């Protein structure tokens, strides 16, 4: 996130409020909206089919079918799952989070310690950097996600900044290394060690989440505690968090130095560029993107009024416009709906009088940087940041 694009700080709220559950917790966080709670949003979606697309069973890599992503809040059991080595089989008992490195006082916090700190809640999109990898041609190795390695949930917990302040960050610190409890399967396999620049760590919207949609964070989603870095690809939002280390340099190792890098020219607006002379830069900010969640690909429809609906999000900044084109005709502006919170997504819809016959629907989003989804996503060898405009074909008759 660029320095000037910091979203407003989430207002603190007490642990009591969290316990009451989100339904009754009006004013819980930064993002007051009128209407239903995330829990009831989630409830609606639950009515539909429940299945995820399984890319890999162990460790679990599972994608949400795009037609199940139409709600503003994605329910927990529909939310995509990405694991590098799998959830550590330890359980939350005796969980400790250590903060060390370039700090005044290395500390170790328990989950109770964290629960006693200021609690914040906010909705945020998490999207795998490789969402859409399976759509790139030629093929690239890695989980071949199509569209659904993304979801919008309400995360609650403590600000990372507050935790770092307790340890006292020394002046020389530039990066925060993030390490989870998921052990690599072999000593030769690199640990999933990641880092974020201190500036991003101190951003008041970067949190350590212990709850998701008001529930204790489930283990498959990183419970009992994970990082949530809004606006950035989800590889920064390290799961099963155990160690925070402050350092002068970025994290060493494969997952920071080799993985999650793209050619410089691809870097989307709002990215942090560590080394302006390098050919590749870390994938950081998400780029602007939309999905058509209704109708689904190949769906048979009756002639007449059809609601074309979907979701749209971006990295730092906001979604300013979503447009829909039918049969490659003129772009028509859809209505953006739902709460607007930076780092979260918008739902959108457009009514369409569908005549009989086969039709193609396309949607494209534009953000406050003036970026619009491209016709083609630039190929890169790891398949990151796909955001090309897609086509959904339907049969009306």
Partner 1 sequence: MASNRIARIGVTLAAVAMLPLMAPGKTIASGTRQDDPEAEERTFTLELGRKTFEANCLMCHSSDMVTAQRLTPEQWAAEVEKMIGWGSPVPPEEKERLVNYLIASFPSDGEAPTLPRLTLEDARAPTRPEPAPDALPSGDPDRGAALVAEHCATCHGADGRGGDLGQNLIARPVLFQPATYADILHEGRRRMPGFQFVLSPQEMADTLAWLRSRSVPE
Residues that bind ligand HEC (CB under 6 A): 84-85, 141-142, 185-186, 189
Closer residue to ligand HEC in complex, CB, 85/331: 85
Residue 54 near which of ligand HEC, partner 1, none (CB within 5-8 Å, type-dependent) = partner 1
Ramachandran category for residue 292: left, alpha or beta (phi over 0 → left; psi -120 to 50 → alpha): beta
The residue nearest ligand HEC at its CB is 186
Closer residue to ligand HEC in complex, CB, 260/313: 260
Q: Chain centroid to CA 263: how far?
A: 22
Closer residue to ligand HEC in complex, CB, 110/258: 258
Closer residue to partner 1 in complex, CB, 143/301: 143
Three-class DSSP category at 173:
coil
CB of 393 to partner 1, least distance (A): 17
Closer residue to ligand HEC in complex, CB, 128/350: 128
CB of 142 to ligand HEC, least distance (A): 5
φ, ψ (nearest 5 deg) of residue 242: -125, -35
Q: DSSP of 275-302, one letter per residue?
A: -TT-SEEE--B---EEEEEESPTT-EE-
Bridge partners, 329 (sequence order): none
104 C-beta neighbours (distance < 10 Å), count? 10
CB of 75 to partner 1, least distance (A): 10
Closer residue to ligand HEC in complex, CB, 89/300: 89
CB of 106 to partner 1, least distance (A): 16
CB of 190 to partner 1, least distance (A): 8
Under a CB-based contact definition with an 8 Å cutoff, are residues 307 and 292 in contact? no
Q: Please give the residue ranges that form the binding site for partner 1 (CB under 8 A).
A: 50-60, 62, 65, 77-78, 81, 85-91, 93-96, 138-141, 143-144, 181-190, 220
- In order of 47, 203, 244, 315, 374, the CA distances from 369 in angstroms are 37, 20, 32, 10, 14
Dihedral of the alpha carbons of 30, 31, 35, 41, in degrees to the nearest 10? -110
Please state the length of the chain: 397
Residue 272 near which of ligand HEC, partner 1, none (CB within 5-8 Å, type-dependent) = none
CB of 186 to ligand HEC, least distance (A): 4
Residue 298 near which of ligand HEC, partner 1, none (CB within 5-8 Å, type-dependent) = none
CB of 52 to ligand HEC, least distance (A): 17
C-alpha 173/C-alpha 182 separation (Å) is: 25
Closer residue to ligand HEC in complex, CB, 25/128: 128
Please work out, in degrees rounded to the nearest 5, the angle formed at the alpha carbon of residue 368 by the alpha carbons of 160 and 270. Answer: 45
């Amino acid at each position: 996130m660029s320095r000037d694009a910091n979203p407003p700080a989430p207002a603190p709220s007490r642990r009591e409020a969290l316990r009451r559950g989100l339904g009754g917790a009006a004013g819980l966080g930064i993002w007051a909206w009128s209407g239903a709670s995330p829990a009831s949003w989630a409830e609606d979606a639950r009515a539909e089919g429940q299945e995820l697309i399984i890319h890999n069973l162990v460790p679990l890599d599972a994608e949400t079918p795009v037609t199940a992503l139409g709600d503003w809040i994605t329910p927990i059991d529909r939310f995509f799952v990405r694991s590098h080595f799998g959830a550590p089989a330890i359980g939350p008992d005796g969980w400790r989070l250590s903060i060390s490195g370039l700090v005044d006082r290395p500390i170790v916090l328990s989950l109770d310690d964290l629960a006693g700190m200021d609690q914040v809640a906010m909705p945020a999109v998490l999207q795998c950097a490789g969402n859409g990898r399976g759509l790139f041609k030629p093929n690239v190795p890695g989980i071949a996600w199509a569209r659904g390695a993304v979801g919008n949930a309400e995360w609650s917990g403590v600000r990372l900044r507050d935790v770092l302040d307790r340890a006292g960050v020394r002046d020389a610190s530039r990066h925060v290394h993030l390490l989870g409890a998921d052990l690599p399967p072999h000593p030769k396999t690199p640990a999933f060690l990641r880092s974020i620049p201190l500036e991003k760590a101190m951003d008041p919207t970067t949190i350590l989440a212990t709850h998701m949609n008001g529930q204790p964070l489930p283990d498959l989603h990183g419970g009992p505690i994970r990082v949530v870095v809004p606006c950035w690809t989800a590889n920064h939002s390290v799961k099963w968090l155990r160690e925070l280390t402050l350092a002068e340099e970025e994290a060493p190792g494969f997952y920071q130095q080799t993985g999650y890098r793209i050619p410089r020219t691809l870097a989307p607006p709002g990215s942090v560029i560590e080394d302006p002379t390098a050919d590749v830069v870390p994938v950081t900010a998400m780029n602007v993107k939309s999905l058509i969640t209704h109708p689904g690909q190949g769906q048979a429809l009756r002639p007449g009024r059809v609601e074309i609906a979907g979701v749209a999000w971006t990295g730092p900044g906001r979604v300013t416009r979503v447009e829909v084109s039918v049969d490659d005709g003129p772009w028509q502006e859809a209505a953006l709906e739902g709460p607007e919170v930076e780092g979260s997504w918008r739902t959108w819809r457009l009514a369409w009088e569908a005549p009989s016959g086969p039709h193609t629907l396309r949607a494209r989003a534009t953000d406050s940087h003036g970026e619009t989804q491209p016709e083609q996503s630039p190929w890169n060898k790891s398949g990151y940041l796909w955001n090309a405009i897609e086509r959904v074909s339907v049969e009306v008759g």
